[in-house]
């Protein structure tokens, strides 16, 4: 019976405190009864292999002990879908784009060793993701253990629900606040572009120079940025003219795609000069910086296409019918 005692001892360590003696006594009794039953059937005492088989059938001690624990999961089925959605939003829609489009390019463009900067950016992204996932998980685990007050969901009155609007709510309309923000952002970004556009950047002993293609595309880029002003104006003044707004946006995306294609065709976008550094190192830095710019431009183009497809569909689709009456 030494094996049984060892098994019970292992189970005991995983049991809730205060119930260990009771559960182990009952479990031990159950195992002994099963062994006795088997011995009666066989007409002889069980051997070690048979005891091993009985214990293995009952499962790993940690698994057995786990069945007595009050809660089997960190985040239950009710909260899990929301947990997944929050993780998706935070990591895929916020962290990754910020690192890919902001942190990464800045880090790569402002250091001498772009490869190291790229690796560091990826490492920082991984660490930030792990930390964020950890925080979100802890928050949801707390919500699981201390559920929020469900009274507002129980005490409700159908008569207090908002009335159905008489005219169809056009989901394609831009809210007034968004239109104003769009207009303001376009003005600010265009102003910054005009004020700060330059083709050389000096960092200590390193000079980063943009190739001539950027200078030649200055005016087209400025026009694309300024086109946000008429788009925002249309959204603000004529929110019902959704087709016009989508057409402007589609045109902006098309022009952006053409500009990106011209840029990609140039093949080289950045040059680096650093008198104090070895030529081989500088060449490597130029190579990787240009590679980073190329990838960014491709991603930018992909996003312009992804952004443009729904606009094209919206321009040509019929307005949704509006009928919420249960009488029809």
Report the interface residues with other proteins, using CB under 8 A.
19, 23, 25-27, 29-30, 32-34, 58-59, 63-64, 67-68
- How do strand 200-203 and strand 270-273 relate by DSSP bridges? unpaired
Q: Which of 169, 170, 181, 322 is nearest to 246 (CA)?
A: 170
| CA–CA separation, 215 and 157 (whole Å) | 63
Find the shortest distance in angstroms from Cβ 31 to other proteins: 9
Nearer to other proteins, 78 or 194 (CB): 78
Nearer to other proteins, 26 or 157 (CB): 26
- The residue whose two tokens read 């795609």 is 257
Nearer CB in complex with other proteins: 58/172: 58
Q: Whole-number minimum distance, CB 191 to other proteins, in Å?
A: 59
| Burial profile 287-316: b = 16 or more Cβ within 10 angstroms, e = fewer | ebbbebbeebbeebbeebeeebeebeebee
For the four alpha carbons of 230, 232, 237 and 241, in that order, the dihedral sign comes to positive
In the complex with other proteins, the residue whose CB is nearer, 25 or 52, is 25
State the angle between helix axes of 2-12 and 20-42 in degrees (0 to 180), rounded to the nearest 10. 150
Name the minimum Å distance from CB 229 to other proteins.
55
To other proteins, the closest distance from the beta carbon of 27 in angstroms equals: 7
Which CB atom, from 64 or from 183, has the smaller least distance to other proteins? Answer: 64
**What six digits make up the tokens of 179?**
């239109």
With contact defined as beta carbons under 8 Å apart, do 273 and 282 qualify? yes
For the bound state, the minimum distance from the C-beta of residue 119 to other proteins, rounded and expressed in Å, comes to: 41
Residue closer to other proteins (CB basis): 30 or 202: 30
- Smallest distance, other proteins to C-beta of residue 35, A: 11
């Amino acid at each position: 019976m030494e094996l049984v005692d060892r098994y019970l001892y292992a189970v005991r360590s995983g049991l809730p405190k205060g119930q260990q003696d009771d559960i182990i006594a009952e479990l031990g009794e159950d195992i002994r009864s099963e062994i006795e039953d088997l011995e009666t059937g066989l007409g002889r005492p069980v051997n070690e292999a048979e005891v091993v088989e009985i214990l293995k059938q009952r499962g790993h001690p940690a698994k057995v002990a786990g069945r007595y624990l009050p809660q089997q999961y960190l985040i239950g089925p009710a909260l899990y879908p929301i947990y997944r959605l929050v993780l998706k939003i935070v990591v895929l829609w916020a962290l990754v784009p910020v690192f890919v489009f902001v942190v990464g390019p800045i880090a790569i463009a402002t250091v001498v060793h772009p490869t190291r900067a790229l690796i560091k950016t990826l490492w920082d992204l991984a660490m930030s993701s792990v930390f964020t996932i950890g925080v979100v998980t802890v928050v949801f685990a707390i919500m699981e253990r201390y559920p929020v007050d469900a009274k507002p969901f129980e005490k409700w009155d159908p008569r207090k629900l908002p009335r159905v609007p008489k005219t169809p709510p056009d989901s394609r309309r831009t809210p007034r606040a968004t239109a104003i923000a769009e207009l303001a952002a376009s003005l600010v970004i265009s102003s910054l572009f005009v004020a700060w556009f330059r083709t050389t950047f000096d960092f200590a002993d390193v000079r980063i120079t943009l190739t001539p293609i950027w200078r030649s595309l200055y005016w087209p880029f400025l026009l694309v940025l300024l086109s946000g002003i008429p788009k925002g104006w249309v959204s603000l003044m004529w929110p019902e003219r959704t087709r016009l707004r989508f057409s402007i946006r589609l045109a902006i995306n098309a022009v952006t795609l053409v500009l990106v294609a011209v840029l990609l065709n140039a093949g080289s976008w950045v040059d680096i000069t650093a008198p104090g550094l070895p030529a081989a190192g500088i060449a490597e830095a130029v190579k990787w910086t240009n590679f980073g710019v190329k990838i960014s431009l491709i991603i930018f183009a992909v996003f312009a296409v992804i952004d443009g497809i729904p606009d094209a569909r919206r321009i040509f689709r019929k307005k949704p019918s509006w009928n919420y009456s249960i009488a029809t």
